[in-house]
Amino acid sequence: MAKQPPTVGSSTFERIKRDIIFGTLAPGSKLKLDDLKKRYSASVSTLRETLNRLASDGFVAAQEQRGFFVTPVSKDDLREIASLRVLLERHALRLSIANGDTEWEGNVVAAHHKLHRMEVLMQAGDETEKETWKRYDWEFHLSLIRACNSQNLLSLHSKIYDKYLRYQMLVFTFRGEAAAAEHQGMLDAALARDPDTATKFLEDHINNGLTHTLEAM
Amino acid sequence: MAKQPPTVGSSTFERIKRDIIFGTLAPGSKLKLDDLKKRYSASVSTLRETLNRLASDGFVAAQEQRGFFVTPVSKDDLREIASLRVLLERHALRLSIANGDTEWEGNVVAAHHKLHRMEVLMQAGDETEKETWKRYDWEFHLSLIRACNSQNLLSLHSKIYDKYLRYQMLVFTFRGEAAAAEHQGMLDAALARDPDTATKFLEDHINNGLTHTLEAM
DNA sequence: TAAGTAAAAAATATATGATATTATTGATTT
DNA sequence: AAATCAATAATATCATATATTTTTTACTTA
């Protein structure tokens, strides 16, 4: 029962999305089909499908008759994204804390453990694992809200998270101890089933990250 | 300076989306490329681009190697959608009431006027204008939150609104006087710059609609 | 008969080439 | 420098072709 190999379409989608999030494809740059064809070794049909999907997700801007561009960035857009992330993730966290069972707690603890290990490493100056660290960050935040009991909410949140992530990657700098403390605060409050404290830590966490990123832009 | 004719792609997108929202394409049904080709007179490539976009928006479910389906409906999904609409629209309404200028007020009043005219008509038993009525409903709700000052929020909201709309169309019945009163309440509170009352009316409005639809399902 | 399996048919995923339309560029003129 | 127009490039769309995968049908065997 091996997982079937991903189709050209879905793997191209992931690759382009990743390249946009991690800045390999610069904000605002033109996405010429001919270039992409070489770069991702896929046909025009496949690429157009992919770009249309990414456009719907907001990573690509499609201009009728003029083709596709990497969605540009701006401070205002970042502020909007951060604010939406707060709105969605706070809400999901509250629901999750109210609904989560022991299984959920276990997953949260596990996710935090992995993230924390990585944070210690990064604070020691090791920056080789940026991507792993970001993945663990995502997994921790996701684990916290996973018991919110709304697929639609989780799906919306993950889209916003990815957009937020792009801005973080754009000006990459590690917030270190502060961010780690906020994560710890969220963990403790979640396990203590204290939604007010947990959401307070979350809100600070996102807003501090926002300030940090805005300053670096 | 005439608006340029829409491309085959975008008009196909709108048509299929509309057919899903208004139930012409039944929930869960298979979307065979060959059939769609005839029905919308577009090529497979164009259709696949369209379906991929709709999949990203959640109106179509794409199953790898097995093609596309109209996203199924369920009571739980509807509850999630309604809850998200409350979350997003409440938030946007608060921001909008805080930011809106006189221009905004004018647009809100105008949108409500048109909606109200239609509501009177519907209460008199005329059901021929369902689609116009629904458009005016959308325009009124949009006008209220338009001053929220966040493109991202508006865009998220419009996607959720459309999903909610599909459920309403699915079991179409007019809530009549009650809904009209809630609209009036929102209008008055918005003009009075009373966010608490306005969001209360909004929340009731959506939740009553939800109950109404759930009962009819 | 039920269950399983192999062959056939249908549908999808992907690629390519062709055409019409639209944008962009560069040269030319005013 | 601005405006114009031809030449070039790029996109949007479609029709076809092929490989793969699903689904259906027919057939076999327990």
What is the residue-wise DSSP string for chain B?
Answer: -PPPPPPHHHHHHHHHHHHHHTTSS-TT-EE-HHHHHHHHT--HHHHHHHHHHHHHHTSEEEETTTEEEEPP--HHHHHHHHHHHHHHHHHHHHHHHHH--HHHHHHHHHHHHHHHHHHHHHHTT--TTHHHHHHHHHHHHHHHHGGG--HHHHHHHHHHHHHHHHHHHHT----THHHHHHHHHHHHHHHTT-HHHHHHHHHHHHHHHHHHHHHH-
Q: What is the pLDDT of residue A124?
A: 85
Mean per-residue pLDDT, B121-141: 89
Q: Among B89, B79, B77, which Cα is nearest to B182's? A: B89
Rg of chain B (C-alpha set): 18
CB proximity list for B35: less than 8 A, separation 6 or greater: none
CA dist B17 and B82 (Å) reads 19
Test A155 with B58 for CB contact under 8 angstroms.
yes
Q: Which nucleotide is nearest to A67 (CA to C1')?
A: D11
Distance CA A58, CA A212 (A): 23
The predicted pLDDT at position A144 comes to: 98
Q: Output the six-digit token pair for B141.
A: 């709700």
Alpha helices in A42-101 (DSSP H): 44-57, 75-99
Judged by C1' against the alpha carbon of A65, the nearest nucleotide is D11
Residue A52 CB in 7 A reach of strand C: no
Check residue B1 and give its pLDDT: 35
Cα separation, B79 vs B94, in Å, equals 22
- Taking the stretch 3-42 of protein chain B, residues with Cβ within 7 Å of any atom in nucleic acid chain C are 4-5, 30-34
Separation of alpha carbons A28 and B89, rounded Å: 30
Residue count of chain A, please give it: 217
Q: Supply the pLDDT for residue A1.
A: 35
Tokens found for residue B81: 């959608």
Strand D nucleotides, any atom under 7 Å from protein beta carbons: they are 10-17, 21-23
Find the mean pLDDT for residues B57-83. 96
Contact between B177 and B101 under an 8 Å Cβ cutoff? The reply is no
- Helix crossing, B195-216 with B151-170: angle to 10°? 30
Structure tokens at A158: 């993950």
**Chain C footprint positions (protein CB, under 7 Å):** 11-17, 22-24
State the pLDDT at residue B131. 86
pLDDT number for residue A4 = 54
Residues of B whose CB is below 8 A from A55: 53
Kindly state the tokens that stand for B76. Answer: 């739980």
Using a 10 angstrom Cβ sphere, with 0-12 exposed, 13-18 middle and 19 or more buried, the burial of residue A212 is middle
Q: What is the pLDDT of residue B3?
A: 45
pLDDT at B128: 81
How far, in Å, is the CA of B29 from the C1' of nucleotide C3? 30
Tokens of A159: 């889209």
Residue B97 has pLDDT above 50, yes or no: yes
Asked if strand C comes closer than 7 Å to B1 Cβ, the answer is: no
pLDDT, residue A125, reads 80
Residue B15 has pLDDT above 80, yes or no: yes
- Asked if B194 contacts B175 with a C-beta cutoff of 8 angstroms, the reply is no
- Least Cα separation, residue A81 to chain B (angstroms): 7
Q: How far is the CA of A49 from the C1' of D15 (A)?
A: 18
Q: Measured between alpha carbons, how far is A203 from A212 in angstroms, rounded to an integer? A: 14
Residue numbers in chain A where pLDDT is lower than 50: 1-3
**Partner-chain contact A83 B150, CB within 8 Å:** yes
Which residue minimizes Cα–C1' distance to D21? Answer: B65
Long-range (24+ apart) CB contacts under 8 A made by B57-61 are: B57/A56, B57/B17, B57/B159, B57/B162, B58/A152, B58/A155, B58/B159, B58/B163, B59/B17, B59/B20, B59/B21, B59/B162, B59/B163, B59/B166, B60/B20, B60/B31
What angle is formed at CA A158 by the lines to CA A189 and CA A70, rounded to 5 degrees?
140
CB atoms within 10 A of CB A56: 20
A10–B80 C-beta distance less than 8 A: no
- What pLDDT shows up at residue A5? 59
Q: Which residues, in sequence order, are CB contacts of B34 under 8 Å at separation 6+?
A: none
Of the pLDDT bands very low, low, confident and very high (cuts 50, 70, 90), residue B4 is low
Question: Residue A3: its pLDDT value, please?
Answer: 45
Distance (Å) from CA B199 to C1' C14? Answer: 50
Partner residue facing B151 (CB), from A49, A50, A80: A80
Q: Judge contact between B209 and B171, C-beta under 8 A.
A: no
Do residues A59 and A20 touch, judged by C-beta distance below 8 A?
yes
pLDDT at B5 over 70: no
Q: Is the CB of B8 under 7 A from strand D?
A: yes
Per the DSSP assignment, residues forming a β-bridge with A62 are: A68
Hey, what are A205's tokens? 């966490």
- Residues in A touching B52 (Cβ below 8 Å): 49-50, 52-53, 56
Predicted pLDDT at B152: 98
Q: Does A14 touch chain B (CB under 8 A)?
A: no
Q: Is the CB of A51 under 7 A from strand C?
A: no
Half-sphere exposure of A10 (CA within 13 A, CB side): 9
